[in-house]
Each structure stands twice: as structure tokens, then as C-alpha cells.
Chains A and B, each alone.
Chain A
Amino acid sequence: MSASAGVLRVEGLTVEYRVGGAAFPAVRDVSFSIGSGESMGLVGESGSGKTTLGMAILRYLPENGSIAQGSIFFDGTDLVPLGRRELSRIRGNRIAMVYQNPASALNPSLRAGEQIAEVYRAHLGLGRDAARERAEAMLDLVQIPDPHGAYDRYPHQFSGGQKQRIVIGMALAMDPSLLILDEPTTGLDVTVEAEIVELFTDLRARFDTAILFISHDIGLVATVCERVGVLYRGEMVETGATAATFQRPTNPYTRGLLSCRVPPGASKESRRLEPLPAGSRDPEPGACSFEPRCAFREPRCRQEHPALYDAGGGQRSRCFFHETVAEAGPPAVTDVATQPAAPSDGTLLEVRGLRKVFRSGGREVVAVEGADFTLAAGRILGVVGESGSGKTTLARVIAGLEVPDEGRVVLAGVDVTKPAHKRTVEARRALQMVFQHPDGTLNPSMRIGQILRRQMHMLSPDGGADAEQTLADILKAVQLDPEHLDVRPRQLSGGQQQRVAIARAFSTSPDLVVLDEPTSALDVSVQAAILNLLIDLQRRENASYLLISHDLAVVRYLADDILVMHRGRIVEHGPAADVFDSPQEEYTRKLLSAVTVHAGKLASAGPPARAQDTAGGPVRT
């Protein structure tokens, strides 16, 4: 591979957004290159500038964004000074981009095959029949079943995963020199994601396209890419070969990202997660941006900005102490693992013959059918399944946000098969819910204190006497400060918002907490801290959890028992270890194998544990 030729060479790129007269750099002095046939991953958390970088390469920046400095060489031509016309020729012919949402990339009123054929007609000047032939071949290549029939179908007749395949087909049809993929599988189910990843690996062998793969998912990047760049606050903090970088990270941030992931197959009894501490302050201007969160920081880091040093093994790291970091190896596995769940002292939740049907416009959709299970006090039940499997509906019926068509929900011996407002105060106190979207879970017009006090006012039987003390306790438990009571949700980070939501749920000492995707909208570094918090609170309060998640590693880690749902039915239910280690049902096997596809790659790249004391500052996500 001729990496030196460099299909894409980005040099010293700085992208700024102007907000109210001030310029905020989103990408700062980033350089990298990708050779033909090479694939490079860009990983980073939200706000790291990875998407801006992808857009800047195509010069698709929003109105207020601009390239302040640097060059983007594409096949030797600098794209930055190019005019609109020259640019659009290159964009259309030589560079293709695939975004997160496949639905918006396809024209809903044009047949799927036509949209690919159009590319052949426009770019290769092929005739109708020839273009159709090529388009069908491409549909076959991206593994759409029955390409001939599929050609004439409309986008809405395909599933989300198939739509993304068609978009990829369109991208490949122009035989681009560079393909930019921005979170191409985010939002797709794990099984579908696995198939798409497989498709990539397969296609990479056939096309000589350079690939820039942007993702927040380290595991995915480890599977798809040969090289990786890690972005933090708009800066490239580490680059190198994927395997080497993830095996021997030389930047504290990379190391932190790797260690805070939920290790595939791990459970809360086996090890505790290592959250990446959130900085308690912003970095000093002209200093290292990661310094406030860094476990390796020295006084020098607060005074000087580190360059991208050669860290050996082809890796480059933006850290003065890259050697120390490399030698440190992965953070030690803390042995403070949780005790296994205490043997149950009775049934807390009983669900019998639950059925929920949604009707709209004469059509009936059975969301949940014949759900039957019990949950013992003090245990964590994980509910897994793909989107549309009915897991969220099941949770909402149990919580009292939906009323079932048939069946019963019994909580602590009391029938609660009714909407929440018709349940007793005691039943409402006993069952709490934590929602998926941190930004939607708290009323933006209220202060945090108002939100929490209202919850306790409505549900605490003893009224206001101890309320302030309880409030102080719960804030401490979720690691928030009393000052946070006076702010509005907007002023908090996603992780902090989710902590408030958790505080709200626990402020009334619930017996059962329904967790609907509690960490899926959060960055990995935040996720670890929230999961640890959930485990601690569960132990402290001896509450039961009903955990809904599409992230099987998270479920494996937290849950004592697993319930697998498929098309509204419970297909498997048993202790977590049994379900994961020896799934009985075909569907469960398929679901689990999908995760191991890319999780496995990183696990094998993972170095052996090595004792090292991490001085990680207080967690203030």
C-alpha cells in the first residue's frame, strides 16, 4: 500500500465556529494522511470535533463554520482555496460520504435501484440498460437479497440496515478515491451493525478506496480500521496503527477511553469499571487540554502545550510523558467487585400474560404478547432485544405509562395494572424510572432543586420534615454538589443531568427502578461512572432494577438475570451467566454473536492486567 502517495493529506487544519462574534475552534491544528486502500478511524467523544473534521474535508460546513488555517490535499490538490464549481466536481466524483441516518440520504420518491443507476449514468455516462445492469450488480455486492426485484422498490420498503447498504452502494458506485463514513452504524441494531461491518471488511478487499471512518465506538474502529486517530477537544492526541495503539496507548486520554469501556463478558461481580474522571475545571489556555482530567499530570502540563511526540512503534502522542503512559500499561483492575446478589427474599414484581397492542388507522401492532415473568427483590433483570422487540413497551406498561390490553402487573403483592395516576402513592413511590435521554428527562424550565423537591413532596409519605436531609444525602450519593440545586438542566452536562435523574428516582427509596437505556446517550467515559453509581445505589438501597438496553456488554455487566425479547415475545429468560454462556434459543445466539464480532477484536488486543495505582481525582462527571 502506497501510504506515502496519500490520497488525502490534511495539514494543520483548524476549523472555527463563530458564535455571537467570538470564534470557537472545533478542530485545532489537525494533520493526518490516508493512502489509497487504507482505512483510518477517527475516534472521540461528543464535542471532540470528529464530525466537524469529516465535514470540513468535504467543505460542507455550516454557515458559521470556516476553515481558519491549514490545507486539505486530495490527490495532490489543496481543496481549501478551491471555488464552488471545482469543489463540487471533486465532491461528486471522487469523494463519497455516508452519514449516520440512511433514511435522509435516500430520496423517498425514487426507486432504490434508480438512485444507484443515476450515479452510473451521471458519472460514467452509461445508457439506461447498462446503468440498470451495473446498479443491480452493486445491489448484489452490498448484499441486498433479490437485486433484480429490489431495484424497483422504494426506500421505505427496506429495513434500516438495508437502506444503509443501498447508501453505501451509491457511494461505491462512483468508485470514489475517498470514502468518508460518519457513524455509519450508529442507530442500527447490533445484529445489523455486525452485518454492515462484515460488508465493509468484505468490500475493502475489492475496492482500492481510502476510508475515513468516524466513530465514537472504539471497538468498531478496532475492527474496521488499520490506523486510528484519537481526537480530544478538537486536537489529535494520538495516532498510530490500530492494534498497537489500543494495545499500548501512549496518551492518557486513549488509555482512559480504553479502560472505561465495559469489558465484553465482564460482570459487576468480576470487576469494577474505571471511569475517566471528568475535569473539575477547563484546561488552562496554552496548556495541555487533557490536563484537568489526567491521571499522569505534572506541573509542566499546566504551563505548556505538548506537541505530537513520536512515541515509538509508529505512534504519535500529544503528551510530555508518553513514555510513562506507555510503560504504565492499562489501569489496574480494582478488586472491589460487588458481592453477588443476595438470595432473594421474595418476589417483588410479577408480570402475568401481558399483552399490549397499538392501534393506529385500523392497523394493529402487537408490541408485547404473553409476557410472563417474576423479578425477585434486590435483583437486576436485564431486558435485551432489538428495536421493535417490545422491550420499551414492556417497561412502560410496568411503570404505568401504558395500560395493557391483557394481563396483570403485581408489585409487592398489590395489583398495579393501571395507569400511574390511578396507582396508590405507595405504589408510585416504590416504582421509579430513569429515562434514556438526559436532555429530555428534566424540565428545562425548572431548577434542579425544584425538580427534586417536587418529587419528594409528591411521594414521600413523611412530608417535609427530613426532606432537606434526604436531598443532601442523595445529592452526595450521586456526586453532585449542593450548588447544583440552583441551576437549570441546560447548565449541566449530559452525565450530570443523568445523575439528577437518578437522584430523582432514588430520592424516595424505591423498591424497583426501571432503567430505560440509562447510558446509551452518554459518552463512554461518562457511562462507566454512571454504571458504577447505579451499582452502588442498588446495593445501598437493595432495590431491584429492570434494565432495558440494546448494549449487551452493559446488560451482561449489570444484570443478574436476562430476559431476551424478540418480536414482542419473551424468548429466553434465565441467570445472566447461563444466557450469555450457553444461550438456548437460536435468536439469542444470533444476537450475542453479533456483539462478539467487534468486541472480540478489541478484547484480544487488550493487554494483560498490570497493577498500577491510578491517581484519578474525584469523579465529578
Chain B
Amino acid sequence: MIGTRLRTLLASPGVTLAVAVVLGWLAIAVIWPLLVPYGPTAQQLGGRYAPPSAEHWLGTDNLGRDVLSRILAGSRSVLIVGLASTTLGVAVGTTLGLVAGFYRGRVDELLMRSLDLLMAFPIIVIASVILAMLGPSRLNLVLVIALMLAPYNARVVRSAVLSWRDRDFVAAARLRGESGAYILFRELLPNIMGTVNVEFTMRLALSIFAVATLSFLGFGIQPPTPDWGLMVSEGRPFYQIAPWVVVAPAAAIASLVVAINVVAQRLRAS
């Protein structure tokens, strides 16, 4: 079954490319220390703003650091924070969606209205406010992004549950005296895993975008750690003299987010 799914996923060249890009970044995040030509934080004050060349494929930044090395190294933090926050957010959202969709009634009302409230604020605004209060750290970043993703995920899962809750096998489980948790996670969840997987992929793209944005705004990863969003922000003042310092990390963000979105679209279509 996995085989068929993979085959449908790889049916079009665009999707194949997207899968390759995502897998490529994942691999780089793991093995970047073996790939980087220079230390990502190694400064070379004599060689600041060097344009792309044979020594520095993507040039150097305002402190003479190798941009390519920083981009390769930066993939790790963005993917770790992105994956962790998505996993947490989708886990929480899926649980809330299952509960709201299965129990309906007052529980559903209360949950969904609270989530509506959370969704009423622009994600980035509320995230930056919370991070400003909590202080920037990777853990806080993960928690905040997860909190922001969960309501959207909960809504989608809830509507998926609605189409299953009235099936007779759920009635059969109730007649057997199964607990609510058993019905939610054993009877219902496996049947909506397709939806959850698509959700996860789509939220992952959003989450990576959020990590980059928050770091760009200064609420996320702190210098001198190499991070894509931070690199864009750091390079911005020197954009006129060294555009590669901004363009390269921006392109990295775009490549990962777009590739994940393409995969998500394909998953949703199948």
C-alpha cells in the first residue's frame, strides 16, 4: 500500500522534484557538518561582502562568514523547530478535533468557540507578543507555533470525524462499552489518518514559514546561530551592496516551503 502511495506521489515530475527537494534538505540538516566548506560562524573580517566566487559559492556576509555554509547549517534549526512544532500542533489539534467531532453538543461548542477566538488574531502578531513575554528560545518557539497551528488542524479533523462518527461500527463499539479514548484513538483515528497526514504536511510548510518569519522579526533563533530567517534580517541593511546575503536564505526558505506545499497538494488530491 505504501508502494502504491509512493507511486502516485511520484507520478508527475514536479512532485518528484518537490519530494527530492524536501528529502535533500532533510539530509543536509543531518549531515551538514560533513558538507560545509567553512565553519558557519567562522568570521573572516578581511573578506566581508565577497560576491559569489569559486571559494565562496554564495559569497560572504557582513562579518565575512560563508553564506553557503550558514545556509546548509541553518537547515537544521528550521527543520527541528518546524517538525517539532508541527508534530505538537497536529497532535493537540487532532485530539481536540476528535473530541469535538465525536462528542458534539456542549463540548463541541465550547472547544470550537475557544479555537475561533484564537484564530481571530493574526498568527504572527499573537506569536510575537507571546514570544516577547516568554523570551525567545527554541522551546518557546515550538510551543507558540504549535499553539497557532492547532486550531486550524482541529477544525479539519473535526469535520473529518463528523463523517465517521455515525457509522455503525462506532455504535457497535459503544454497545460493547468501549471508553471514549478507545473509540477516539482506536476506532476513529486510523480512519482519518489520511486527512491527518495531509494536514501535517500542509502545517509543516506553514510552520517553517512561521519559524523563519519569527526569527526574521527577532523573536526566534538568536544570533550568531545560523538561521534562514535571521540571515535575511541580518543581511537586509546591506542589501544594496551584497544582495546574495538576503537572496540565498530567502531562496532556501522558498524552496523548502514550496516543495512541501507541492507534496501536500498532491497528497490531498490522492
Question: Which residue numbers of A lie inside 8 Å of B, CB to CB?
Answer: 399-401, 419-421, 423, 425, 428, 431-433, 435-437, 440-446, 454-455, 458-459, 501, 504
B177–A437 contact, CB under 8 A? no
- Look across to chain A and name the residue whose beta carbon is closest to the beta carbon of B193: A445
Which residues 161-184 of B have a CB within 8 angstroms of A? 167-169, 171-172, 174-179
A423–B177 contact, CB under 8 A? yes
- Look across to chain B and name the residue whose beta carbon is closest to the beta carbon of A435: B168
Across the interface, which residues of A come within 8 angstroms of B178, CB to CB? 421, 458
Is B108 an interface position by the 8 A CB rule?
A: no
Across the interface, which residues of B come within 8 angstroms of A442, CB to CB? 169
Asked if A401 meets B175 with Cβ closer than 8 Å, knowing A436-B168, A437-B168, the reply is yes
- Contacts A401-B174, A421-B179 aside, 19 further interface pairs with beta carbons under 8 A come to A400-B174, A401-B175, A420-B175, A423-B177, A425-B177, A428-B177, A431-B175, A433-B172, A435-B168, A435-B171, A435-B172, A440-B169, A441-B168, A443-B190, A443-B191, A444-B191, A455-B176, A458-B176, A458-B177
Q: Encode B175-218 as 1/0 by CB contact (under 8 A) with A.
A: 11111000000010011000000000000000000000000000
Across the interface, which residues of A come within 8 angstroms of B190, CB to CB? 443, 445-446
Q: Which of A400, A433, A440 contacts B167 (CB 8 A)?
A: A440
Across the interface, which residues of A come within 8 angstroms of B175, CB to CB? 399-401, 420, 428, 431-433
A235 to B117, CA, bound (A): 60
- Look across to chain B and name the residue whose beta carbon is closest to the beta carbon of A438: B168
- Look across to chain A and name the residue whose beta carbon is closest to the beta carbon of B167: A440
A420–B177 contact, CB under 8 A? yes
Listed by A's residue number, 21 A-B pairs whose Cβ atoms lie within 8 Å are A400-B175, A401-B174, A401-B175, A420-B175, A421-B177, A421-B178, A421-B179, A423-B177, A440-B169, A441-B169, A441-B172, A442-B169, A443-B169, A443-B191, A445-B190, A445-B191, A455-B176, A458-B176, A458-B178, A459-B176, A504-B172
Number of interface residues of B (CB under 8 A): 14
Across the interface, which residues of A come within 8 angstroms of B177, CB to CB? 420-421, 423, 425, 428, 458-459
Q: Which of B174, B176, B179, B191 contacts A454 (CB 8 A)?
A: B176
- Look across to chain A and name the residue whose beta carbon is closest to the beta carbon of B189: A445
A441 to B166, CA, bound (A): 10
Across the interface, which residues of B come within 8 angstroms of A421, CB to CB? 174, 177-179
- Look across to chain A and name the residue whose beta carbon is closest to the beta carbon of B174: A420
- Look across to chain B and name the residue whose beta carbon is closest to the beta carbon of A455: B176
A432 to B171, CA, bound (A): 11
A446 to B190, CA, bound (A): 9
Across the interface, which residues of B come within 8 angstroms of A433, CB to CB? 171-172, 175
Across the interface, which residues of B come within 8 angstroms of A431, CB to CB? 175
A455 to B179, CA, bound (A): 13
A441 to B169, CA, bound (A): 4
Asked if A428 meets B176 with Cβ closer than 8 Å, knowing A444-B191, A445-B190, the reply is yes
Question: Which residue numbers of B lie inside 8 Å of A, CB to CB?
Answer: 167-169, 171-172, 174-179, 187, 190-191
Max chain B C-beta neighbours (<10 A), residue from A425, A440, A446: A440
Across the interface, which residues of A come within 8 angstroms of B169, CB to CB? 440-443
Across the interface, which residues of A come within 8 angstroms of B168, CB to CB? 435-437, 440-441
- Give the Cβ gap from B195 to chain A, nearest Cβ, in Å: 13
- Give the Cβ gap from B197 to chain A, nearest Cβ, in Å: 14
- Give the Cβ gap from A442 to chain B, nearest Cβ, in Å: 6
- Give the Cβ gap from A7 to chain B, nearest Cβ, in Å: 43
Across the interface, which residues of B come within 8 angstroms of A437, CB to CB? 168
Across the interface, which residues of A come within 8 angstroms of B187, CB to CB? 443
A345 to B169, CA, bound (A): 33
- Give the Cβ gap from A207 to chain B, nearest Cβ, in Å: 42
- Look across to chain B and name the residue whose beta carbon is closest to the beta carbon of A444: B191
A419 to B177, CA, bound (A): 9
- Look across to chain B and name the residue whose beta carbon is closest to the beta carbon of A489: B169
- Look across to chain B and name the residue whose beta carbon is closest to the beta carbon of A419: B174
A454 to B191, CA, bound (A): 18
A431 to B175, CA, bound (A): 9
A485 to B154, CA, bound (A): 35
Across the interface, which residues of A come within 8 angstroms of B191, CB to CB? 443-445
- Look across to chain A and name the residue whose beta carbon is closest to the beta carbon of B171: A401
- Give the Cβ gap from A350 to chain B, nearest Cβ, in Å: 20
- Look across to chain A and name the residue whose beta carbon is closest to the beta carbon of B173: A443
Across the interface, which residues of B come within 8 angstroms of A440, CB to CB? 167-169
A432 to B167, CA, bound (A): 16
Across the interface, which residues of B come within 8 angstroms of A501, CB to CB? 172
Q: Nearest 3 pairs between A and B by C-beta?
A: A445-B190, A435-B168, A440-B167
A494 to B79, CA, bound (A): 46
Max chain A C-beta neighbours (<10 A), residue from B175, B187, B191: B175
- Look across to chain A and name the residue whose beta carbon is closest to the beta carbon of B175: A420
- Look across to chain B and name the residue whose beta carbon is closest to the beta carbon of A20: B4
- Look across to chain A and name the residue whose beta carbon is closest to the beta carbon of B170: A443
A431 to B168, CA, bound (A): 16
Across the interface, which residues of A come within 8 angstroms of B167, CB to CB? 440-441
- Give the Cβ gap from A616 to chain B, nearest Cβ, in Å: 31
- Give the Cβ gap from A436 to chain B, nearest Cβ, in Å: 7
A437 to B176, CA, bound (A): 18
Across the interface, which residues of A come within 8 angstroms of B171, CB to CB? 401, 433, 435
A463 to B191, CA, bound (A): 28
Across the interface, which residues of B come within 8 angstroms of A428, CB to CB? 175-177
A504 to B171, CA, bound (A): 13
- Give the Cβ gap from B192 to chain A, nearest Cβ, in Å: 10
- Give the Cβ gap from B35 to chain A, nearest Cβ, in Å: 41
Across the interface, which residues of B come within 8 angstroms of A443, CB to CB? 169, 187, 190-191
A442 to B187, CA, bound (A): 10
- Give the Cβ gap from A135 to chain B, nearest Cβ, in Å: 39
A420 to B187, CA, bound (A): 17
A428 to B167, CA, bound (A): 19
Across the interface, which residues of B come within 8 angstroms of A445, CB to CB? 190-191
- Give the Cβ gap from A35 to chain B, nearest Cβ, in Å: 46
Across the interface, which residues of A come within 8 angstroms of B172, CB to CB? 433, 435, 441, 501, 504
Across the interface, which residues of B come within 8 angstroms of A400, CB to CB? 174-175
A459 to B176, CA, bound (A): 7
Across the interface, which residues of B come within 8 angstroms of A441, CB to CB? 167-169, 172
Across the interface, which residues of A come within 8 angstroms of B179, CB to CB? 421
- Give the Cβ gap from A285 to chain B, nearest Cβ, in Å: 25
A593 to B237, CA, bound (A): 89
- Give the Cβ gap from B53 to chain A, nearest Cβ, in Å: 51
A435 to B168, CA, bound (A): 7
A401 to B174, CA, bound (A): 7
A446 to B185, CA, bound (A): 13
A442 to B164, CA, bound (A): 12
A569 to B172, CA, bound (A): 27
- Look across to chain B and name the residue whose beta carbon is closest to the beta carbon of A428: B177
- Give the Cβ gap from A334 to chain B, nearest Cβ, in Å: 33
Across the interface, which residues of B come within 8 angstroms of A458, CB to CB? 176-178
- Look across to chain B and name the residue whose beta carbon is closest to the beta carbon of A458: B176
A458 to B179, CA, bound (A): 11
- Give the Cβ gap from A550 to chain B, nearest Cβ, in Å: 17
- Give the Cβ gap from A20 to chain B, nearest Cβ, in Å: 10
